[in-house]
Amino acid sequence: MHKPFKVILVFVLLLALAAFRPMLLPEQWTPSTKAELQSSLEKLDKKMRGLANYEVNVTHLSFEDNTSDIVHDKATGFYRRDQKRYHSLMMGVETIQNENIKVVIDTAKKIIAVVNPDATLEHQGSPELRSIILDRTTSIMKSQQSQSIAFKIDFSENYSMTSCQLAMFDNSLIKEIVMCYSKKVKNHQGKEVHPKLKIQFTGWKEDVKFPAQEFSDAKYVVKEGKQYHLTSAYKNYKLQDQRFNIK
pLDDT one-digit tens code per residue, 14-54? 333 344 434 433 469 999 999 999 999 999 989 988 998 99
> Region 95-115: what's the mean pLDDT?
96
3-state per-residue secondary structure call for the chain: CCHHHHHHHHHHHHHHHHHHHHHHCCCCCEECCHHHHHHHHHHHHHHHHCCCEEEEEEEEEEECCCCCCCEEEEEEEEEEEECCEEEEEECCEEEEECCCCEEEEECCCCEEEEECCCHHHHCCCCHHHHHHHHHHEEEEEEEEECCEEEEEEEECCCCCEEEEEEEEECCCCEEEEEEEECCCEECCCCCEECCEEEEEEEEEEECCCCCHHHHCCCCCEEEECCEEEECHHHCCCEEEECCCCCC
156: number of CA atoms within 13 Å, CB side?
8
pTM greater than 0.75 = yes
Of the spans 11-15, 60-64, 68-72, which averages the highest pLDDT?
Answer: 60-64
pLDDT at position 122 is 57
Residue 219 lies in a domain: no
CA distance 51 to 123: 10
Residue 47 lies in a domain: yes
Do 42 and 32 touch, CB atoms closer than 8 A?
Answer: no
Residue 138 lies in a domain: yes
Residue 234 lies in a domain: no
CATH number of the domain within which 46 lies: 2.50.20.10
Q: What percent of the chain has pLDDT over 70?
A: 85
Residue 13 has pLDDT above 80, yes or no: no
pLDDT at position 166 is 94
Residue 88 lies in a domain: yes
Residue 192 lies in a domain: yes
Range of the domain at 79: 30-212
Residue 130 lies in a domain: yes
Mention every residue, 6+ apart, whose C-beta is less than 8 A from residue 8: none
What digits encode the pLDDT tens for the residues 144-197?
Answer: 988 999 999 999 988 899 999 999 999 999 999 999 999 888 877 778 888 999
How many domains are contained in the chain?
1
Residue 241 lies in a domain: no
pLDDT at position 3 is 47
